């Protein structure tokens, strides 16, 4: 699994979304992003990896967020469906 630590949601078509990629991933069962105050700003469930369309675009309630650091929680099921993995970390919006 590859989870970046920065992205640039500035609308230039390059690195505009924060999404999970990798090999051997059957399903991402949970993908959440929180701001520094613990408020959830993004959530997706039961999505496919390697698909930018399922990722976070750096907005909350329709507003583009300012550069900041956010915390993510990811739960994924391996390709064989036998193991579940959990990941946490931080992602920075850079402009």
Taking only the tens of pLDDT, the chain with its 95 residues reads: 999 999 999 999 999 999 999 999 999 999 999 999 999 999 999 999 999 999 999 999 999 999 999 999 999 999 988 899 999 999 999 98
Distance set, CA 51 to CA 15, 17, 75, 84, 89 (Å): 12, 10, 16, 20, 20
What's the DSSP call for residue 80? Answer: T
Q: Which pTM value belongs to this model?
A: 0.94
């Amino acid at each position: 699994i590859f989870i970046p630590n920065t992205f640039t949601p500035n609308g230039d078509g390059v690195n505009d979304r924060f999404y999970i990629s990798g090999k051997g991933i059957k399903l991402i069962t949970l993908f959440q992003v929180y701001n520094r105050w613990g408020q959830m700003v993004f959530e997706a469930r039961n999505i496919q990896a390697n698909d930018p369309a399922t990722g976070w675009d750096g907005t909350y309630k329709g507003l583009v967020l300012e550069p900041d650091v956010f915390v993510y929680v990811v739960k994924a099921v391996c390709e064989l469906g036998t193991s579940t993995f959990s990941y946490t970390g931080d992602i920075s919006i850079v402009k």
